[in-house]
Structure 1
Amino acid sequence: MKTTVVGSYPVVLKKEKSFIDKIKSIFGLYDEYHYAIERAVLDQIKAGIDVISDGQVRGDMVEIFTKGMYGFDGKKVIGKVEFVKPITLRDILYAKKIAKSQNPKVEVKGIITGPCTIASSVRVENFYSDNRDENLVYDIAKALRKEVESLKGHVPIIQIDEPILSTGLYDFEIARRAVEMIVEGIDVEFAMHVCGNVYNIIEELNKFPVSILDHEFASNKKNLDILEKIEKKVGFGCVNTKIKKVESVDEIKGLIEEGLEILKNNPHLNKSLGESVYIDPDCGMRLLPIDVAFGKLKNMVEASKEVKIN
């Protein structure tokens, strides 16, 4: 089973110290987030993660995208939403450069925040009726489609984060159509991350045009029920990112084994369990102390290695 992350990592900034750094800063060329990306990448590799992220260090999952699209002023919608230029590509390429220098086998995933989740998190002041306006959702999807097109030649997996879907606030048909706009015809494996309670909506999630569904199981044991019905590969969240305690290897291992036992009875899986499951944390780790985040990843990787797949 491959190990991965949901995305974000604690942000460690480094102010300019050297003379060269200070000169770069004067000319607006110093990027204080480069060190945060380096730390995120190196920690993930040191922990043993197979498919890493760039750490999503430049802001929360919504503002990373709204500040890079036309039509937004911060988290306010002031006009028609449109793509301007790639938002995450630069950091993905930087993360890949660092990763390849450390371990050529490590892969970097692309991550975008889904159209419904972005729409749900902004205040509409112009052009659209409100943040549930399907035209807003679709325009965000069209912009994200161009973002995906910029990433497709550089990453093997692109994850779409749609946590809002577990709340029932958005129509599933609209949400599904929006995701279809993003992924249609793109030759990359797509995952969709939905945290929260999903055991009542798994039939709807199975209809989305992605090959991996990623959910939280450590902080939400009831979600284990979906493993009998899921029709995609599984992103198995097995460490609780809401608490600052580092779970033991045995604790994580026990949860993974419990999930695999259920999956053995799933009639929809056409591949072996090893090929059907990605092991990862429940959600992003941005708000955790960095030593706790690293400890969770390290123990998660160790636990996944100890699990025997029959």
Structure 2
Amino acid sequence: MIKTVVGSYPVVKGAPQNIMDKIKDKLGMFDEFKYAIEQSIYGQVEAGIDILSDGQTRGDMVEIFVSNLYGFEGKRVVGKIEHTKPITLNDIKYSNKILKSLPNTQNKSIKGLLTGPCTIASSIRIENNNHYSDNKDENLIYDLAVALKKEALDIQNEVSTIQIDEPILSTGMYDLDMAKKAINLITEDLNIPISMHVCGGVSGIYSELHNFNVDMLDFEFASNKKNLEVLEDINKKIGFGCINTKLKTVESVDDIKSLIGEGVEILKNNSKFNGINGNMVDKLNNFVVIDPDCGMRLLPLGVAQQKLKNMCMACDEFENEIKE
């Protein structure tokens, strides 16, 4: 099974190491986040991740986008929101450069990450604005979707897949029909696989999420075991979150493997899963991607790294066992 990450990784900023770096630092040109990206890629490769991220090192999932979209001052909306330049493209290109410089990484790739329009909208301030009435204004969601679509088009040729993060959808705060229209606007012209990550409990909404124009739905199963019940009916490829990123304790390989096994037993009752040609390994490789529950930015570096290592080891051991 393919192993990936949801996105963020602990940030380890770099410091000037040589004369040229120190000159750049004095001129305000030294990029302390390049080191963080490097460490993110090295750590993910060492753990055994197949589809990597750049680590989302330059800010949280909302900050990265609002700080680069026209119409914002911080997280306050001050005008009509527009996309004026690529936001994540340079870090993706740098990640690809680092990845290609490492041995035995020919089959690994970088994913693109977009924070979804509803999640961004829920985290910003609308004050005395002539364009939008409040955080749920349909024009706000639409303009964010248009901006994110431009970002997706900018990065799609540099990544193997794009993940849209919409954790807010499980809260009921946003109308799912409006959210679907926004996501479909983003994805309609893309030519690579698209996944959507939704945090929290999804048993009440996953049937509606089926109708979103994405190829894969990514959910939490370690911290929300009730989500396991959706596996019986899910009709899209599933991102199976199997390590709890809210906890600083490291799950054992056996515990992770046990959770994967629980999920697979339920999938055996899924008609879409059973319709895939091949043996059980073939079915899983075509239907399941293994990843953490959510991003890992807030975890200590050593904890995050060990969680990823144990996750990859558990996945590989599980796959080997079902081959026997």
TM-score, normalised via structure 2 length: 0.94
- 1:85-234 equivalences in 2 (<5 Å): 85-102=85-102, 103-125=105-127, 126=129, 127-234=131-238
* CA drift at 1:186: 1.0
Question: Paired residue for 1:274?
Answer: 285
* CA drift at 1:26: 2.5
Q: Tell me the amino acid that sits aligned with residue 12 of structure 1.
A: V
- Separation in 2 of the partners of 1:204 and 1:220? 19
- Separation in 2 of the partners of 1:44 and 1:301? 10
**Is the contact made by 1:202 and 1:229 (CA closer than 8 Å) also made in structure 2?**
no
The counterpart of 2:263, out of the listed 238, 259, 266, is 259
Deviation track 1:120-168 (CA, whole Å, cap 9, x = no partner) reads: 0000121200010010000000000000000111111100000000000
1:63 matches 2:63: yes
* CA drift at 1:292: 0.3
RMSD over aligned CA atoms reads: 0.9
- Secondary structure at the aligned position of 1:97 is classed as helix
Percent identical: 58
**Is the contact made by 1:12 and 1:35 (CA closer than 8 Å) also made in structure 2?**
yes
- Secondary structure at the aligned position of 2:158 is classed as coil
The unaligned stretches of length 5 or more in structure 1 are none
Deviates more, 1:268-277 or 1:66-75: 268-277
- Separation in 1 of the partners of 2:85 and 2:143? 15
Deviation track 1:46-98 (CA, whole Å, cap 9, x = no partner) reads: 00100000000000000000001001111011110000101001000101111
- Separation in 2 of the partners of 1:264 and 1:28? 57
* CA drift at 1:104: 2.2
The counterpart of 2:306, out of the listed 295, 300, 303, is 295
Q: Tell me the amino acid that sits aligned with residue 151 of structure 2.
A: E
* CA drift at 1:17: 3.4
Q: Tell me the amino acid that sits aligned with residue 307 of structure 2.
A: K
Alignment coverage as a number of residue pairs: 310
- Separation in 2 of the partners of 1:53 and 1:95? 8
- Separation in 1 of the partners of 2:212 and 2:20? 49
1:240 matches 2:251: no
